[in-house]
Amino acid sequence: MDRTTGMRKVASQFSMADDDEFDLLQLLDKPKLNIERQRSFDERSLSELSINIRELDGFDNLYSPWGMRSGFDSPSSSVRNSFGPHPMVAEAWDALRRSLVYYRGQPVGTIAAVDTSEEVLNYDQIFVRDFVPSALGFLMNGETEIVKNFLLKTLLLQGWKKRIDHFTLGEGVMPASFKVLHDPLRKVDTIIADFGESAIGRVAPIDSGFWWIILLRAYTKSTGDLSLAETPECQKGMRLILALCLSEGFDTFPTLLCADGCSMIDRRMGIYGHPIEIQALFFMALRCALAMLKHDAEGKEFIERIVKRLHALSYHMRTYFWLDFQQLNVIYRYKTEELGFDFMPTHGGYFIGNVSPARMDFRWFALGNCVAILSSLATPEQSIAIMDLIEARWEELIGEMPLKIAYPAIEGHEWRIVTGCDPKNTRWSYHNGGSWPVLMWLLTAACIKTGRPQIARRAIELAETRLLKDGWPEYYDGRRGRFIGKQARKFQTWSIAGYLVAKMMLEDPSQLIMISLEEDKAMKPLIKRSSSW
């Protein structure tokens, strides 16, 4: 995350009065559907850790807004107390609850960090991407209203007219973050949203909208409550996001063309083009939206566009972004030298960081590869290969604190050119090869889905030796993640939530259904590989 000073006064600031959100406040009071559900065969196998991704095809079809209801049991009180004796769990829950932010007496999210020893900057805001692990933790613990409030509040912010430096942003753009200001004298709560005007390079976040759709599906799968996703407001919110990312332009690829700073790596790090993180989130959001859009006149048009894009996107990513030892031998004979050759083991593979005209970025990016597994952008064979790579390159990717956000670090002359001599992204620090505890939940989910929970268990045990003692840092520095990040905030909320979600998923693997999509066997490539490659 990038934390910058001085939020400028822009048009995306106002005080929410009663008239501004009367419809959403009514939505908050709607009762949940009373659905009698039983666990399916697939969910029983998940809870028993008999995870085999080849045998779980189609369990996402259990959910359809116009058909069968979810078969997933909502978290019960027994789940909340099912943890092992490790004292970190209780400490983590206490710290997570201290980060809650309230708007008109209702919890609407968690701030980025509760670190009173450092300058606040914008760590006192609710970031959309940061709140996702917190939201999953609350869902798993049966505290669903917090997540519902957050989804509705950000949906309302999406509808703002976003004008920055005399230029109006697209209607569907979700905020990177928002802040709640309390005026005790006037007894008024004010929300200030950031749509990129305070970010490095003034870049609007692309991933916020994707995370919102993914979280909406997670809420629906966890609660069995279809009423929220089926509201006209949520249906319109999804369509607005899809209208932006499915629009046709000059690009000849089905991937999304992105600028630096539009995702979790929100500083200049050479990910401009078609970064794996955005493509994997794009794919997952499209599949989640496909399951939740209504088959009405407006929804059908988007459903048709989504299906076409998914076919092209899956083929493109699996063909051009995938690297294993066999493909490496082909690339090795190219007339140029590329990064990452010594990193590739004989058994294993991964989706490389970026493929753009005349440029391939061979760096490993953790979030993109884990989301590729969870969304089934990766085939079953590719998912296994990614896990093989993590095991084979444990020291490089896990080290002493899971998990490297990117590997390897860029340094020297390349670092000066790519980052602009960014002092925060020096080698093996922050986004440039730093270790981020929040990524544990994604790693754990990917491990469970591929039937390799022992990998996640080993990584979590490593984190438990230090995280609490170190004060829940934002990230760690060093080639092996040995040092607390030089500019890392303590009591970083998503470090806390990432640990909790990882622990809860290992305790009850059936929770994976909230965040996992199984392979769609009908998704066959409709195009042939270009002869120019």
Look at domain 87-514 and name its CATH class.
mainly alpha
Q: pLDDT tens digits for 311-338?
A: 999 999 999 999 998 888 887 776 665 5
**SS3 category, 429:** strand
| Cβ burial, residue 498 (10 Å; 0-12/13-18/19+) | buried
Strand, helix or coil for residue 70: coil
Look at residue 419 and tell me whether its pLDDT is greater than 60: yes
Confidence (pLDDT) at 339: 52
Q: Which two tokens stand for residue 457?
A: 């268990």
Closest Cα partner for 401 from 480, 303, 497?
A: 480
Q: Quick one: average pLDDT of 112-123?
A: 85
Distance between first and last Cα of the chain: 36
Asked if the model's pLDDT at residue 100 lies above 80, the reply is: yes
CB atoms within 10 A of CB 420: 10
Of the listed ranges 153-167, 179-193, 344-358, the one predicted with least confidence: 153-167
Position 269 scores a pLDDT of: 95
Mean predicted lDDT score pLDDT of the chain: 84
Task: Judge whether residue 66 has pLDDT over 70.
Answer: no
Cis ω before 403 (30° cut-off from 0)? yes
Q: Place 5 in a pLDDT band, splitting at 50, 70 and 90.
A: very low
Q: Say what the pLDDT of residue 510 is.
A: 96
Dist CA 90 CA 113 (whole Å): 18
Is it the case that residue 54 has pLDDT exceeding 60? Answer: no
Residue 24 scores a pLDDT above 60: no
What is d(CA 327, CA 435) in angstroms, rounded to the nearest whole number?
Answer: 28
Helices (H), 246-296: 276-292
pLDDT category at 163 given cuts 50, 70, 90 is: confident
Of 82-91, 101-110, 291-300, 414-423, the poorest mean pLDDT is in 82-91
Which CA distances in Å does 455 have to 25, 291, 381, 400, 500?
Answer: 44, 31, 18, 14, 17
Q: Is residue 29 a contact partner of residue 222, using CB atoms and an 8 Å limit?
A: no
Percent of residues, the chain, with pLDDT higher than 70: 80
473, 113 Cβ separation under 8 angstroms: no
- Whether 52 shows a pLDDT value over 70: the answer reads no
The sign of the torsion formed by the CA atoms of 435, 441, 445, 448 equals positive
433 burial level (CB within 10 Å; 0-12, 13-18, 19+): buried
Instruction: Give the helix/strand (H/E) hosting 127.
Output: strand 126-127
For the chain, give the number of residues. Answer: 533
Q: Mean pLDDT over residues 385-414, rounded?
A: 97
Q: What is the mean pLDDT of residues 168-197?
A: 91
In our burial notation (b when 16+ CB lie closer than 10 A, e otherwise), range 15-49 reads ebeeeebeebeebeeeeeeeeeeeeeebbebbbee
Mean pLDDT confidence for 254-280 = 94
Alpha carbon distance 440, 489 (integer Å): 18
Q: Which residues contact 394 (CB under 8 A, 6 or more apart)?
A: none
Averaged pLDDT, 6-13: 40
Residue 436's pLDDT is what?
A: 98
pLDDT of residue 335: 60
Q: Give the CA angle between residues 153, 220, 297 to the nearest 5°.
A: 85
Residue 270 has pLDDT above 70, yes or no: yes
- Using one digit for the tens of pLDDT, what is the confidence trace for 192-223? 999 988 777 788 899 999 999 999 999 999 99
Residue 76 CB neighbour total at 10 angstroms: 12
Assess whether pLDDT exceeds 80 at residue 466.
yes
Q: What is the mean pLDDT of residues 147-162?
A: 91
Per residue in 277-315, pLDDT tens? 999 999 999 999 999 999 999 999 999 999 999 999 999
Q: What is residue 411's predicted lDDT score, i.e. its pLDDT?
A: 96
Give the pair of three-digit tokens for residue 352.
């490389």
Token pair of 214, please?
Answer: 């993914």
Q: What confidence category does residue 46 fall into, taking pLDDT thresholds of 50, 70 and 90? A: very low
Q: What is the pLDDT of residue 336?
A: 60
Distances, alpha carbon 330 to alpha carbons 144, 327, 364, in Å: 50, 5, 19
Spatial CA neighbour of 261 closest among 210, 173, 200: 200
List the chain domain ranges: 87-514
Cα dist. 513→72, 73, 394 in Å? Answer: 8, 10, 27
pLDDT, average across residues 75-82? 38
Strands, E assignment, 200-338: 322-324
Instruction: Write down the pTM of the prediction.
Output: 0.84
Average pLDDT over residues 38-52: 36
- Residue 188, beta-bridge partner list: 183
Alpha-carbon distance values, 303 to 242, 270, 287, 429 (Å): 10, 33, 10, 42
Count of CB atoms within 10 A of residue 359's CB? 12
Q: Collapsing DSSP states into helix, strand and coil, what is residue 458? A: helix
